[in-house]
Amino acid sequence: MKCQLRVNGEDHTIDVEPRTTLLDALRDNLKLTGTHVGCEHGICGACTVLADGEPVRSCLMLAAQADAGPEITTIEGLSTAPGELSIIQDAFCEAHGLQCGYCTPGMIITASALLERNATPNRDDIVDAISANLCRCTGYGQIVEAIELAAEKLRQRNASPSEASQ
Amino acid sequence: MTEAPTSFRYVSKPRRTQEDRRFVTGKGHFVADIVPDNTLHVALVPSQEPAARIISIDKSAALALPGVHDVITGDELAAAVEPMMNGLDTPAVKRYAMAVDRIRYCGEWVAAVVADTRAIAEDAAELVELETEPSDFILDAEEAYRPDSLAVHEAHGSNILLDRTFTWGPVEQHFSESARELSFRVTWGRSSTVPIETFGVLASWDGWRDTLDVWASIQMPKYADQIARALRIPMNTVRVHQDVDVGGSYGVKRGIKHTVLAGYISRKLNRPIRLIEDRLENMRAGDAHGPDRIFDISIAYEDDGRIRSMKMRALDNAGAYAGRAPFQLGKPIGAIVGPYTIESVEYQAISVTTNKAAQEAVRGFGQAPTNYAIETALDRVAAAVGLDRVQIRRRNYIPSDQFPYLIPSGTSYDSGDYQTVTDKVMTQVGWDDLVRQRDALRADGQLAGIGIAACLEPSGGNSSFEPLLNPANTTTTWMDSCRIMVDGAGTVTATIHTTSSGQGHQTLTATIIGEVLEIDPDQIRVIHADSQTSLPSNSPVGSRMAVMLGGAAFNAAGKLKDKLKRIAAKQFGASPDEVVYSEGTFATADGDQSLGWMDVVTIAHRYFHLLPDGEQPGLEVTDVYQVPTGGGLPTEDGRVQMYPCHSFEFHCVLLSFDPILAKPEIHRYVIGHDCGTVINPHIVKGMTLGGIAHGIGAALFEEFTYDDQGQMNAQTLADYLLPSSHEIPAVEIVHHCTPSPFTVLGQKGSGESGYLGAPAAISGAVNDALAPLGITVDKLPIRTAALSDRIAAAANTQS
């Protein structure tokens, strides 16, 4: 079946089997491989993308459900330009909020959604927000620090993540 | 020296890592991201029974499905490849990628379907008809150890892969001399590292170039070697692309069977073959399961709590095949007394086969379970003599002035200052306040406890356990390497010769080379050579790369600097000893003559006539680094120097739980950590925090359990519970630095830190919380439901 997806501000028409997940469509059809496959049953959060700004599991959503539907944002949509980092991405580097980097795109997408709606999250807010994204490397400590740092930098810019990337 | 040296330019500085930029933008280079044209995809047909004879496999319906190219069975594969290597000398325990004739665990691969897409391959896998004759099976290690037990491998004759008793020192004498003795059993449940990325491999055979290209998510010593042997092709035809980013491993990403299978299919069909496990394949039959171990411990000690001797029997359930799993009983021999002055040890190491999935290497390679057993012993002795649990450890610590310290099993510990680290943690935590906080929680109706663990992280990974447990194996080196090239434009490129799975090897290498050459590490490019262009490496196992890759990088940089100095000296008419190097400038001692970096580089690359006699043109140096203190074979009585370095960690944790719900909440977690000179503080911090989280998982949540039919219960991440951010507290780290005298910068390993002590500390805290009820828990993980039941049963007994 044909699906019209709007991803990172661009329109794509793809031809997929009805059973194709949004995750597989993003990776296989659109070659957006920054969204990662972890468990394929909605637990780990590695495949998190934004649908109209809300974090969703792209492994639990069919491509067909995004047909002519929500605006999808993947990790590739957060970078401002090749070699440049968004404020959140830069904060993850500064705090070393990652190791192997596999859960990282999902974490950053989730952090982005949090900071879009809450400019002054406390530690509990951050812990809650990322609690559905599993990381096996870091023990979450430096991820929390990275998000705290990103929030601070965004406040200094007086901008939300989406405003700061424009 | 007890404080971190402050004279470093880049080492120990909180610099950003080189690797992170690509990951935060989703531009990592993971194996699943690599899909060449014409790739075919594999899905696996699992066995439904824990033990059975294969009668027939009907492939016809699967082959008839459009898009299916082949269905491979174990028989076909076994006729074409060699069995995978065993660590021990157990040739009758044959293992192939798929079951041959007999199924030995539930989920074992019996056929591989190859199709145009993974979805078609999965559809076809359901069409493969497997006819079997189920047989008896065995899951329990004690039962498997009995001489009359059913043998999982009939040809081997029993389930015993390893059963060796070591006696180091006058154990019986110490037991008879000692005032007191106690015994107990603890059990470490079958858990693992469970990376968020499953294992994956892409193998592509090019018959015109005689090359098998392999992209894989691996952390495996001698991987290319094993692939070549199994596929019966020369090793120099195997090209492993080691620049693949590995999405977490912590030991388990071994992948030999996956690669042999994919490599075989690629050679047969002349197409790139992609085998990416889904989570189900990973959990039940991937290289996913870790130690599964029962410890029986006896301790001989004095009235004052000094421990004289220990008897440890470790019975490990290796699962259906051998592999390297039994060696996980060997590595802990290098720290078998922990940080304590235990004078003698009897150690019986037993590894048995059962009808569970095969065990693979997990972070610490058996050390975390062993530390859990040792630390439980310390707690039990403390309770028996009425000493505080911190005091009992202090009383038994190896004093800081006795290093290098030879332990009974033959390893010399390099350095340590355990009392000072303990002091620092006690200060940080405010011990009296912590006790008051615990008591306040108890007064509030909670069960609250404090846990303590002091333990070592052997590091700089050597393989001395191989000759120790397998006399047919006389390996005495476990080297690693670094090559540095300076190009004609003066930029520096270093190559490393293994994969990385989040440990920051690029940063490590660049930092150390930058330190030696006084060049900004961010200007140094570090690349992963493929296996055909690699120097020898034994991969980042055994908490070894800071020591081993760090050592090789340091030495290579030194050789490079020496060569540059020789070239400059020739121009100055001076001897190389008289050349002073500083930040890229070469000068005579009096400063009268000087040359810049590019001047000397240009001579090396272009002006042969200006080179010293005998000097080769160009600028390329290599260093193949032997493990410090390594090289010796074991003695006949089983003593050997295991790893060179021993990091120390001291954990202190306060937790509480409701007596009915029994869900532990961690209120405070402080760790004192001493891994010698830290190369990059961000990386070491991350390893430590991640290790603690992993240890909390092993202590409270994670287990691959089987039901009594041999079916694995935990097959999804909804059943096998990984700690989320809610379960992991904010951890406070207290640093200390006792440099190792055996390494180039005093560094030790930290890749397993946190994990090696957290399970013991959590167990200690739970048992402290249960102490008022007069009960103990002696098996990990301590699951909420089991804990709740235990408390209820105790209450019923008391009433």
Domain ranges of chain A: 2-77, 87-157
Chain B, window 664-723: residues with a beta carbon less than 8 angstroms from a chain A beta carbon: 682-683, 685-687, 689-694, 716-718, 722
Confirm if B217 and B305 have CB atoms less than 8 A apart: no
pLDDT attached to residue B2:
39
User: To the nearest whole angstrom, how far is the Cα of B724 from the nearest Cα of chain A?
Assistant: 5
What is the distance between the alpha carbons of residues B312 and B332, in angstroms, rounded to a whole number?
12
Residue with tokens 């691996």: B218
Of A94, A122, A137, which to mutate for an interface test with B (greatest number of B Cβ within 10 Å)?
A: A137
What is the distance between the alpha carbons of residues A47 and A36, in angstroms, rounded to a whole number?
5
What is the distance between the alpha carbons of residues B641 and B334, in angstroms, rounded to a whole number?
7
Q: Per-residue pLDDT tens for A3-51?
A: 999 999 999 999 999 999 999 999 999 999 999 999 999 999 999 999 9
Give the full edge-to-edge strand order of the sheet including B129-134: B102-103, B52-58, B129-134
Alpha helices (runs of H) in B614-722, residue ranges in sequence order: 681-700
Q: Residues of B499-518 as b/e, b for ≥16 C-beta within 10 angstroms?
A: bbbbbbbbbbbbbbbbbbbe
A141 and B730 in contact by Cβ < 8 A?
A: yes
Assign residue B602 the CATH number of its domain: 3.30.365.10
In a domain, B597, yes or no: yes
Looking at the fold, whether B656 and B732 belong to one and the same domain comes out as yes
Give the DSSP H or E segment for B27.
none
Instruction: Tally the C-alpha atoms within 13 A of residue B79's C-alpha that lie toward its C-beta.
Output: 6
Residue with tokens 């661009």: A10
Residues in chain A: 166
Strands (E) located in B129-217: 129-134, 160-168, 180-188, 200-206, 211-216
Looking at the fold, whether B109 and B255 belong to one and the same domain comes out as yes
Give the full edge-to-edge strand order of the sheet including B525-528: B525-528, B492-496, B480-486, B620-625
pLDDT average, residue stretch B562-574? 98
Number of domains observed in the structure of chain B: 3
In 3D space, the residue among B669, B664, B694, B667 whose CA is nearest the CA of residue B783 turns out to be B664
How is domain A2-77 classified at the CATH fold level?
Ubiquitin-like (UB roll) (3.10.20)
> Cα–Cα distances in Å, from B560 out to B4, B607, B614, B618?
27, 18, 16, 11
pLDDT attached to residue A81:
82
Residues 6 or more apart in contact with residue B208 via CB below 8 angstroms: none
Looking at the fold, whether B434 and B319 belong to one and the same domain comes out as yes
Instruction: Count the Cβ atoms, other than its own, within 10 Å of residue B530.
Output: 19
Full residue range of the structural domain in which residue B55 is found: 34-135+199-276
What is the distance between the alpha carbons of residues B532 and B239, in angstroms, rounded to a whole number?
5
Residues 6 or more apart in contact with residue B396 via CB below 8 angstroms: B305, B306, B307, B340, B341, B342, B378
Read off the pLDDT band of A163 (50, 70, 90).
confident
pLDDT attached to residue A79:
82
Instruction: Count the Cβ atoms, other than its own, within 10 Å of residue B196.
Output: 26
In 3D space, the residue among B557, B555, B549, B570 whose CA is nearest the CA of residue B486 turns out to be B557
In 3D space, the residue among B277, B276, B274, B278 whose CA is nearest the CA of residue B39 turns out to be B274
What DSSP character marks residue B154? G
With a cut of 50, say whether residue B5 has pLDDT above it.
no
Confirm if B709 and B43 have CB atoms less than 8 A apart: no
A2-77 with A87-157: one CATH topology? no
Looking at the fold, whether B564 and B510 belong to one and the same domain comes out as yes
**B104 lies within 8 A of chain A by CB:** no
Read off the pLDDT band of B79 (50, 70, 90).
very high
List the structure tokens of B236. 């120099």
Chain B, window 25-64: residues with a beta carbon less than 8 angstroms from a chain A beta carbon: 25-28, 30, 32-33, 35
What is the distance between the alpha carbons of residues B116 and B100, in angstroms, rounded to a whole number?
26
Q: Per-residue pLDDT tens for B135-155?
A: 999 999 999 999 999 999 999
**A131 lies within 8 A of chain B by CB:** yes
Looking at the fold, whether B707 and B788 belong to one and the same domain comes out as yes
Per CATH, the homologous superfamily of domain A87-157 is [2Fe-2S]-binding domain (1.10.150.120)
List the structure tokens of B384. 């028996």
Looking at the fold, whether B355 and B377 belong to one and the same domain comes out as yes
Question: Residue B366: phi, psi to the nearest 5?
Answer: 95, -10
What is the distance between the alpha carbons of residues A104 and A35, in angstroms, rounded to a whole number?
9
Residue with tokens 């992609």: B274
Looking at the fold, whether B68 and B209 belong to one and the same domain comes out as yes
Residues 6 or more apart in contact with residue B570 via CB below 8 angstroms: B610, B611, B612
> Quick check: bond before B404 cis, omega within 30?
yes
Q: Per-residue pLDDT tens for B671-691?
A: 999 999 999 999 999 999 999
Q: Per-residue pLDDT tens for B589-645?
A: 999 999 999 999 999 999 999 999 999 999 999 999 999 999 999 999 999 999 999
With a cut of 90, say whether residue A82 has pLDDT above it.
no
Confirm if B316 and B359 have CB atoms less than 8 A apart: yes
In a domain, B2, yes or no: no
Question: Residue B100: phi, psi to the nearest 5?
Answer: -120, 115
Residues from chain B contacting residue A143 (CB–CB below 8 Å) = 725
List the structure tokens of B568. 């400059």
With a cut of 60, say whether residue B4 has pLDDT above it.
no
- Residue where one domain finishes, among candidates B276, B307, B334: B276
Question: Residue B578: phi, psi to the nearest 5?
Answer: -90, -5
Looking at the fold, whether B654 and B724 belong to one and the same domain comes out as yes
List the structure tokens of B744. 């180039």
ipTM: 0.98
B724 and A144 in contact by Cβ < 8 A?
A: no
Looking at the fold, whether B542 and B589 belong to one and the same domain comes out as yes
What is the distance between the alpha carbons of residues B477 and B461, in angstroms, rounded to a whole number?
10
Residues from chain B contacting residue A103 (CB–CB below 8 Å) = 196
Looking at the fold, whether B615 and B656 belong to one and the same domain comes out as no
> Cα–Cα distances in Å, from A33 out to A10, A12, B474, B671?
16, 16, 45, 38
Q: Residues of B457-491 as b/e, b for ≥16 C-beta within 10 angstroms?
A: bbbbbbbbbbbbbbeeeeebebbbbbbbbbeeebe
Q: Per-residue pLDDT tens for A85-120?
A: 999 999 999 999 999 999 999 999 999 999 999 999
Looking at the fold, whether B119 and B261 belong to one and the same domain comes out as yes
- Residue where one domain finishes, among candidates B625, B648, B664: B625
- Residue where one domain finishes, among candidates B241, B276, B311: B276
In a domain, B591, yes or no: yes
Instruction: Count the Cβ atoms, other than its own, within 10 Å of residue A9.
Output: 9
Chain A, window 2-61: residues with a beta carbon less than 8 angstroms from a chain B beta carbon: 17, 19, 27-28, 32-41, 43-44, 46
Q: Which of B19, B26, B687 sits opposite A34 (nearest CB)?
A: B26
What is the distance between the alpha carbons of residues B247 and B268, in angstroms, rounded to a whole number?
29
Residues from chain B contacting residue A19 (CB–CB below 8 Å) = 119
Chain B, window 730-759: residues with a beta carbon less than 8 angstroms from a chain A beta carbon: 730-731, 754
Looking at the fold, whether B265 and B355 belong to one and the same domain comes out as no
In a domain, B159, yes or no: no
A96 and B694 in contact by Cβ < 8 A?
A: no
Radius of gyration of the CA atoms of chain A, in A = 15
Confirm if B542 and B219 have CB atoms less than 8 A apart: no
Assign residue B93 the CATH number of its domain: 3.90.1170.50
Confirm if A75 and B25 have CB atoms less than 8 A apart: yes
Q: How far apart are the first and last CA of chain A?
A: 34
List the structure tokens of A80. 């401002």
Read off the pLDDT band of B799 (50, 70, 90).
low
Residues 6 or more apart in contact with residue A81 via CB below 8 angstroms: none
pLDDT attached to residue B6:
58
A46 and B196 in contact by Cβ < 8 A?
A: yes
